[in-house]
Structure 1
Amino acid sequence: MLSDKPLVSIFTPAYNSEKYISECIESVLMQTYENWEYTIVDNCSTDNTKKIITEYVKKDNRIKLYSNKYFLPQIKNWNNGLKKINLDSKYCKVLHADDWLFPECIEMMVKVGEGNTNVGIISAYRLEEDRVTLKGLRYDTNVFKGHEICRKHLLSEIFVFGSPTALLIRTDIIKKYNCLYDEDEVHADTFACLKILKEWDFGFVHQVLTYTRRHNESVSSHVNLFDTKVLERIRALEKFGQYYLRPNVLQYHKTKRLRGYHRLLARRFFELRPLDYWKYHHNELNSIGLRVNWAFVGMLIALQIFRPIDTFPHIRKGCDKIYLKLKKTIKPRVWH
């Protein structure tokens, strides 16, 4: 009976995950879909992660453990692990060590993939801590044009990619790329989806199938401290906008997003962000051929400092008009 079902390779990158790794592995063992192989790559953990995984390897020969000789950065470790999965499989399911799958996850996702040969990525609703996310798609279909999904993503109308845990990907797609994830991108998983969907359609299961934790302090603190999500939206427009948006629409949203980005930088000035924050934004934009218009940021800061206080409403009303006029006329000319 298993031979009638396509093989699914499950991959978990693990590092110091002793608190959650058992729950993660148990969720795989409880899948209603049984034709799978499970590859776990331990990234030089210093706790009991490797010991816990080894016990499961002894119990089920479908589970395989690999240990890195040297510690690898997160994205590089993802790419390294994908090279160790069974490339004869038809689908690949990434599962982070601190997440888990609902029992019907793989079965329901494979069903969508098998029913639609042009679907390259399958997602579903996810439980993110205590709330359901990845919402916004029409309920009357499971298949969506890849270009339409990416267009809506770039315009910030929907977000249905989530983290790698939320997705099932055809293994043929992974074999096509030497490195599926761009190791220079903080949000490499999102960029991978935008890259894949240039040629493939997007599948979706209207059911909660994965659980994601947000406890990862090192990653979460970096994202929040450095506002990487704001930069990700700008970089995504610059890299992929030409494929999914008409030129006039792309230019409009580039300008709109950059205005908001510069206003954000002006607000961060009053929060006394560290010097590394400003260097990060300068370097990240430079890496895609753009630059921060510091003169524009300075003007926004000055306007905030010198705006009259509420005790002089008649003066403030006039200055507000000047302020709004300046915001429209001072343009961050950084798009090439």
Structure 2
Amino acid sequence: MRSKSAFPLVVIATPVYNGEKYLADTIACVQSLDYPNLVHVILDNASTDATPEIIAQHANGRVPILSHRNPSTIPMAANFNAVLNLLPAEAGYFRLLCADDLMTTDSIRRQIELAEQHPDVVAVGCLEYSDHLRDENIPRNQTVFDGISIIRAYLREDNTVFSGTHFLFRRSLIDMSRSFYDENLLPYLDAEAALRACLHNNLAFIHEGLAIRRIHDSNAYDVHVKLGFALLDRLQILVRYGPIVLEQEEYRHRLVQQRRRYIRRLLRLRWFERDKATFSNHLERLSATGHPARWFDFADAVADWAFLAMAGRRHLARGKT
């Protein structure tokens, strides 16, 4: 029988703020994992509920817990980066586990087995359950994918493989001189991190539901998506990586189409949902990217919507183009 030290150390990293409703189940989930060499790092973002007490109640479990607390609350993305700064130096891999998510008992073991078989793989993903088992639309007869090819298909919206936090990463990806997660992004900060990791490396994927995302009204990802920030993040990711992996003409076409889709969402926010504050927030964030929205962008987006409607292709205004 192999000793515990013969297995690479895996860190489960959990950033949490006011997680009393779900955190106990998430910690118990980590304690039940069948992988032998684990540490659970939990960073409490100055919670005001029973989060500290819940962490303390699990202090003597089979999987060691290294808990820390911020002196004051910082933005969610900053807390994602802060928890990674707490990883032990000897860690070989890490897996972000949000304080309201779960994973199957064998998830880490199976992801490690695949990663160790393929030294050129830097990230291992899996399917997730939410209200259903979400299919990422990638070939099921394949487990290792060329990074550039899978990124190209993602930007074309042929798959959704990077959209989720359920990746096991090699510890070597973390460069302490920069943030692993881009704090200028909101719902897609984890997708961009996984995509960036695979830009010069391969991706592995297990086509089974090893992760569970709990759906609730306060889920940060769902809130940001509802407010239209997913479209802004997708646009920023396209601007950042499209010129690298797409042909110039295809990139220009996709940029025009995604920008129109996003601008139409802003118009709905402002005029139909009457959410002026979120609308203004979008405009500020868009200006910060160097691609501000001008009056003719709104006119173009509306004209394109009218053209699609008259052509009987209105569904393309919101979906893949």
| Aligned positions of 1:182-261 closer than 5 A | 182-186=182-186, 187-217=188-218, 219-220=220-221, 222-261=223-262
| Aligned positions of 1:146-165 closer than 5 A | 146-164=147-165
Pairwise CA distance, 1:268: 4.2
Question: Structure 1, residues 214-238: CA drift from partner, whole Å, max 9, x if none?
Answer: 3252625642453111111211111
Corresponding residue for 1:314? none
d(CA) in 2 for partners of 1:111 and 1:250? Answer: 37
Maintained 8 Å contact 1:194/1:240: no
Corresponding residue for 1:173? 173
d(CA) in 2 for partners of 1:136 and 1:300? Answer: 29
Q: How many residues align?
A: 309
Corresponding residue for 1:64? 66
Corresponding residue for 1:97? 99
Maintained 8 Å contact 2:10/2:39: yes
The equivalent position to 2:89 in structure 1, one of 87, 90, 95, is: 87
Corresponding residue for 2:18? 16
Q: Which has the higher helix share?
A: 1
TM-score under structure 1 length normalisation: 0.84
Maintained 8 Å contact 1:14/1:43: yes
d(CA) in 1 for partners of 2:304 and 2:208? Answer: 48
Which residue identity does 2:288 align to in structure 1?
S
Question: Structure 1, residues 262-310: CA drift from partner, whole Å, max 9, x if none?
Answer: 3334444541432223322322221121121323424766999xx9xxx
Deviates more, 1:18-27 or 1:96-105: 18-27
Structure 1 residues without counterparts, runs of 5 or longer: 308-319, 325-336
Corresponding residue for 2:319? none
Corresponding residue for 2:129? 127
Deviates more, 1:27-36 or 1:210-219: 210-219
- Give the secondary structure class of the aligned counterpart of 1:11: strand
Maintained 8 Å contact 1:121/1:203: yes
Which residue identity does 1:183 align to in structure 2?
E
Pairwise CA distance, 1:115: 0.6
TM-score under structure 2 length normalisation: 0.88
Q: 1:234 to 1:183 in 2, by over 3 A?
A: same
- Give the secondary structure class of the aligned counterpart of 1:160: coil
Pairwise CA distance, 1:161: 2.3
d(CA) in 1 for partners of 2:301 and 2:38? Answer: 55
Maintained 8 Å contact 1:9/1:92: yes
Q: 1:75 to 1:321 in 2, by over 3 A?
A: closer
d(CA) in 2 for partners of 1:300 and 1:252? Answer: 14
Pairwise CA distance, 1:192: 1.1
Maintained 8 Å contact 1:266/1:300: no
d(CA) in 2 for partners of 1:245 and 1:298? Answer: 27
Maintained 8 Å contact 1:121/1:170: yes
Maintained 8 Å contact 1:100/1:211: yes
Which residue identity does 1:211 align to in structure 2?
I
Deviates more, 1:173-182 or 1:153-162: 173-182
d(CA) in 2 for partners of 1:218 and 1:132? Answer: 18
Maintained 8 Å contact 1:41/1:68: yes
Structure 2 residues without counterparts, runs of 5 or longer: 312-321
Deviates more, 1:187-196 or 1:174-183: 174-183
Greater Rg over alpha carbons, structure: 1
Maintained 8 Å contact 2:78/2:183: yes
Q: 1:321 to 1:106 in 2, by over 3 A?
A: closer
Identity %: 25
Maintained 8 Å contact 1:134/1:162: no
d(CA) in 2 for partners of 1:85 and 1:36? Answer: 12
